[in-house]
């Protein structure tokens, strides 16, 4: 017996819940050397920007205990080159592609959404809200509900109704539930969390910051408890909204933890740097863990940790149905 691992992002069905995290799967070609991209629940692209971007100077990466600091700066070829060279390749391979978009202004996000509208082979659009807002002294959109909702609303309006819009949230906020609620009110069909919290490391030999950019996003198992907390809080407040959980998932056990907290899909990020086979492995491990616990559907496990203490472990109520 195999468990039913199908999951839904709004109305879009994915055959399994394991995705790549934005910015961690390259163009897809790099991972395809190791395993098929169409076997992923979905392939999430790096954040695509309007114009080509050279990114940040090196060093861009510093290893920290169970974590990784990075400041890549959204290096990419720009939306036109992406649509010309990268998306068709993914579509050809049968990958379900979630296109992540990043911009410095609401106008840029909207322009990107318009450019992507109607393009074949886009399963969903994910909005990377952790970009500095150049119109607001470089503060990131995700840090405040109104700024995030403005981007979400304009992208939602420019995107065809059959393509779900996912808002990716940052944990670096006072109240993640408030930002999540604002995004959903703005029209987000699903939420993704967490983006990298900002960290810093200093090289004690050179006595300078380890990264050229000074600060960088922290990822890896070091941030997993943060991800579990955010998913838990948002799922508790908005049980009907699909959540893609991410942050330090390296094994099926980690994926199940996020699922129990309320995520209906899980993205694997930094683990791909360590193990290019991480996605199929996490999926296999997750399936085994679900079976061991007697689940025949992934959906039955979503948010299950929220049940009151002492309740039956598998109360198959229609409540879970809503978070499909």
- Binding-site positions for FMN read 22, 128, 168, 194, 220, 247-248, 269-270
CB under 8 A: which stretch of 64-72, 145-153, 282-290, 296-304 binds other proteins?
64-72
CB closer to other proteins out of 210 and 323: 210
CB under 8 A: which stretch of 18-26, 130-138, 157-165, 224-232 binds other proteins?
18-26
- For the annotated binding site, the residues are 22, 70-74, 128, 168, 194, 220, 247-248, 269-270
Shortest Cβ 230–other proteins spacing (Å): 21
Write out the binding residues for other proteins, residues 187-226 only, by CB under 8 A.
212, 220-221
Judged by CB under 8 A, the number of residues near other proteins is: 42
Shortest Cβ 141–other proteins spacing (Å): 19
Q: Is 174 in the site for other proteins (CB under 8 A)?
A: no
CB under 8 A: which stretch of 62-70, 94-102, 298-306, 314-322 binds other proteins?
62-70
- Report angle CA 131, 161, 267 to the nearest 5 degrees: 50
Q: Is 104 in the site for other proteins (CB under 8 A)?
A: no
- Secondary structure (H, E, C), the chain: CCCECCEEECCEEECCCEEECCCCCCCCHHHHCCCCHHHCCEEECCCECCCCECCCCCCCEEEECCEEEECCCCCECCHHHHHHHHHHHHHHCCCCEEEEECCCCHHHHHHHHHHHCCCCCCCEEEEECCCEEHHHCCEEHHHCHHHHHHHHHHHHHHCCCCCCEEEECCCCCCCHHHHHHHHHHHCCCEEEECCCCEEECEECCCCEECECCEEEEEECHHHHHHHHHHHHHHHHHCCCCCEEEECCCCCHHHHHHHHHHCCCEEEECCHHHHCCCHHHHHHHHHHHHHHHCCCCEHHHHCCHHHCCCCCCCCCCCHHHHHCC
Active site residue: 24, 131, 183, 230, which one? Answer: 131
Contact (Cβ atoms closer than 8 angstroms) between residue 23 and residue 100: yes
CB under 8 A: which stretch of 57-65, 141-149, 159-167, 307-315 binds other proteins?
57-65
Query: Residue 190: which residues within 8 A CB-CB, separation 6 or more?
Result: 9, 10, 124, 164, 165, 166, 167, 241, 242, 243, 244
Write out the binding residues for other proteins, residues 284-303 only, by CB under 8 A.
none
Write out the binding residues for other proteins, residues 253-282 only, by CB under 8 A.
270-277
Shortest Cβ 323–other proteins spacing (Å): 30
CB closer to other proteins out of 23 and 186: 23
> Is 131 marked active-site?
yes
CB closer to other proteins out of 30 and 185: 30
CB closer to other proteins out of 205 and 318: 205
What angle do the packed helices 252-261 and 224-237 form, to 10 degrees? 30
Query: Which tokens is 157 given?
Result: 């309006």
CB closer to other proteins out of 234 and 268: 268
Shortest Cβ 23–other proteins spacing (Å): 8
Among 63, 135, 185, 321, binds other proteins (CB under 8 A): 63
CB closer to other proteins out of 121 and 276: 276
The rounded distance, in Å, linking the Cα atoms of 209 and 232 is 34
Which residues are part of the catalytic machinery? Answer: 131
Binding site for other proteins (CB under 8 A): 23-26, 30-31, 33-34, 46, 51-61, 63, 65-68, 70, 72, 75-78, 212, 220-221, 270-277
């Amino acid at each position: 017996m195999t468990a039913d691992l199908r999951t839904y992002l709004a109305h879009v069905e994915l055959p399994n819940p394991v995705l790549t995290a934005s910015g961690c799967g390259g163009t897809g070609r790099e991972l395809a050397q190791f395993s098929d991209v169409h076997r992923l629940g979905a392939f999430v692209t790096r954040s695509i920007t309007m114009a080509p971007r050279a990114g940040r100077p090196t060093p861009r990466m510093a290893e920290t205990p169970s974590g990784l600091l990075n400041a890549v700066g959204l290096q990419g070829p720009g939306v036109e080159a992406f649509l010309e060279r990268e998306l068709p390749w993914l579509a050809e391979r049968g990958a379900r592609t979630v296109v992540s978009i990043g911009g410095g202004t609401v106008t840029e996000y909207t322009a990107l959404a318009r450019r992507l509208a109607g393009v074949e082979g886009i399963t969903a659009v994910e909005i990377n809200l952790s970009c500095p807002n150049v119109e607001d002294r470089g503060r990131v959109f995700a840090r405040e509900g109104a700024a995030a909702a403005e981007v979400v609303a304009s992208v939602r309006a420019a995107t065809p109704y059959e393509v779900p819009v996912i808002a990716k949230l940052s944990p670096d906020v006072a109240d993640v539930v408030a930002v999540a609620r604002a995004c959903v009110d703005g029209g987000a069909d699903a939420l993704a969390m967490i983006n990298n919290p900002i960290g810093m490391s200093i090289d004690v030999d050179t006595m300078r910051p380890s990264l050229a950019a000074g600060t960088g996003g922290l990822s890896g198992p070091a941030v997993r408890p943060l991800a579990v907390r955010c998913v838990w809080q948002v799922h508790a407040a908005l049980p009907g909204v699909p959540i893609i959980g991410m942050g330090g998932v390296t094994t099926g056990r980690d994926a199940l933890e996020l699922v129990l907290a309320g995520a209906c899909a899980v993205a694997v990020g930094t683990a791909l740097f360590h193990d290019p086979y991480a996605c199929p492995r996490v999926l296999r491990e997750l399936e085994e863990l679900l079976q061991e616990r007697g689940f025949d559907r992934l959906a039955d496990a979503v948010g299950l940790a929220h049940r009151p203490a002492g309740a039956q472990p598998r109360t198959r109520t229609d409540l879970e149905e809503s978070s499909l």
